[in-house]
Amino acid sequence: MTTAPAPALDEVLRALDEVEDPELRRPITALGMVGDVALDGGRATVPIKLTVAGCPLKAEIQRRVAQAVSAVPGIETVHVTMDAMTDQERTGLRSGLSGGLARTSPFASDDSGTVVVAIASGKGGVGKSSIAANLAVILAGGGHSVGLLDADVYGYSIPRMMGVTRRAVMVDDLMMPVDAHGVRLMSVGFLTAEDSPVIWRGPMLHKALTNFVSDTYWDEPDFLVVDLPPGTGDVSLSVAQLLPKAAMVVVTTPQLAAQRVARRAAAMAERVDLAVAGVIENMSWFVAPDTGNAYEVFPGDGGESLSRELGVPLLGRIPLEPAVADAGDLGTPIVTSHPTSPAARALTACAAALVNALRPRAAAEG
């Protein structure tokens, strides 16, 4: 019987180079998360320094490290110890991540390659958040890196729709978006205790949104989808200021009244100098879950006439389908849970039309 030669330290370190932090998506070695690795024959001891002591991804990081190191030939046991970074190490990491401690919107600068899409409507309950969540998941599924910013600070619903129950990790004062369904999310819901009322007003509100945009480690995604609150209030104005290159998508339902309200959102876009990329009509017809039969529920052609009026494309019409709401409640967007359902197909078509509508813009921005 021959015993394998004892592994060399640099083989173990090379294996650790392949381990990424699940949230920062960088090798843990580059993030300064690995302490002094000790080797004793086939026994490796790997000290890991977490960005925060109670890191919710602790177990996952531990699993990744143990798996990578135990794959090194000759390693028999791996002992992973977990500790937290010192304040100084954390500050170093934070400034390394954000390129200094500058507090500016990374999406406002001319060299930002991120296409920002804000989902708006003058009216509540028309499906903005459901559409924002599903579009983000579709874009991510198409191979793009995607951030989803829940700008509905009072009535946030993105965490539930995306199935996230944990809170966001802070590295020093930089917030880490939470990963779900391939999308990186940030929401007030990740910062406050569940169901506690959010009471920010005026300047505080603007400050909170500024934090979400500037003090979050978005890592230059291809797309940033922003879920706006209903109406054309302070939040929307703040968002326009922080994300001056955002294109707006206006959501309406078929009825004339909804269309009239949706028009207000478009008027606001104009006032704050944001482009409207298109209109999405939601709840356009009803799909019976038992028979699959389609029924017109709301009379009208709100999406069509609004898009004509605004001179922008109608990106699509989405049926009212109970599975959309169920999927949202269960935290798995319908495009993931029922990708072949009529609503999921319609949403997928909307995403394609949106990318198409944004293409000249993205190209012009280089």
Q: Which residues 224-253 are close enough to bind ligand ATP by CB under 6 A?
A: 230
Q: How far is the CB of 317 from Mg ion (least distance, A)?
A: 19
187 lies in the binding site for Mg ion (CB under 5 A): no
Smaller CB separation from ligand ATP, 221 or 328: 328
Decide which of ligand ATP, Mg ion, none touches 151; Cβ closer than 5 to 8 Å per partner kind.
none
Q: Which stretch binds ligand ATP (CB under 6 A): 36-44, 128-136, 200-208, 218-226?
A: 128-136
Q: How far is CA 88 from CA 47, 93, 170, in A?
A: 18, 9, 14
282 lies in the binding site for ligand ATP (CB under 6 A): yes
- The correct pick among 51, 98, 114, 129 for binding Mg ion (CB under 5 A) is 129
98 lies in the binding site for ligand ATP (CB under 6 A): no
Name the DSSP letter for residue 260: H
- The correct pick among 16, 321, 331, 336 for binding ligand ATP (CB under 6 A) is 321
Name the DSSP letter for residue 332: S
- The correct pick among 328, 331, 333, 342 for binding ligand ATP (CB under 6 A) is 328
CA distance 239 to 225: 12
CA distance 359 to 62: 42
Q: How far is the CB of 258 from Mg ion (least distance, A)?
A: 15
| Backbone region of residue 270 per phi and psi (left: phi > 0; alpha: psi in -120 to 50; beta: other values) | alpha
- The correct pick among 21, 152, 219, 281 for binding ligand ATP (CB under 6 A) is 152
Residue 204 CA to its chain's centroid (Å)? 23
Q: How far is the CB of 118 from Mg ion (least distance, A)?
A: 12
Q: Report the chain's terminal Cα–Cα distance, integer Å.
A: 62
CA distance 353 to 249: 11
Decide which of Mg ion, ligand ATP, none touches 134; Cβ closer than 5 to 8 Å per partner kind.
none
Among 215, 138, 222, 152, residue whose Cα is nearest residue 182: 138
CA distance 19 to 66: 10
Q: Which stretch binds Mg ion (CB under 5 A): 127-135, 318-326, 328-336, 348-356?
A: 127-135
CA distance 121 to 282: 11
Q: Which stretch binds ligand ATP (CB under 6 A): 46-54, 86-94, 134-142, 150-158?
A: 150-158
Q: How far is the CB of 162 from ligand ATP (least distance, A)?
A: 12
* Long-range Cβ contact pairs of 203-210 (< 8 A, separation 24 or more): 205/153, 205/234, 205/235, 205/238, 206/234, 206/238, 208/153, 209/151, 209/153, 209/235, 209/238, 209/239, 209/242, 210/103, 210/105, 210/238, 210/242
- The correct pick among 16, 126, 148, 178 for binding ligand ATP (CB under 6 A) is 126
114 lies in the binding site for Mg ion (CB under 5 A): no
Q: How far is the CB of 128 from ligand ATP (least distance, A)?
A: 4
Cα dihedral 90, 178, 222, 306 in deg (nearest 10): -140
CA distance 155 to 235: 12
Interface characters, 23-42, with ligand ATP (x: CB under 6 A):
--------------------
175-208 burial: b if 16+ Cβ within 10 Å, else e: bbbbbbbbbbbbbbbbbeeeeeebebeeeebbeb
Smaller CB separation from ligand ATP, 35 or 322: 322
Judge whether 114 and 221 are in contact, CB under 8 Å: yes
Smaller CB separation from ligand ATP, 157 or 216: 157
Q: Which stretch binds ligand ATP (CB under 6 A): 109-117, 236-244, 317-325, 351-359?
A: 317-325
Smaller CB separation from ligand ATP, 256 or 325: 325
- In the complex, the residues that contact ligand ATP under the rule CB under 6 A are 121, 124-130, 152, 155, 157, 230, 282-283, 318, 320-321, 324-325, 328, 343
- In the complex, the residues that contact Mg ion under the rule CB under 5 A are 128-129
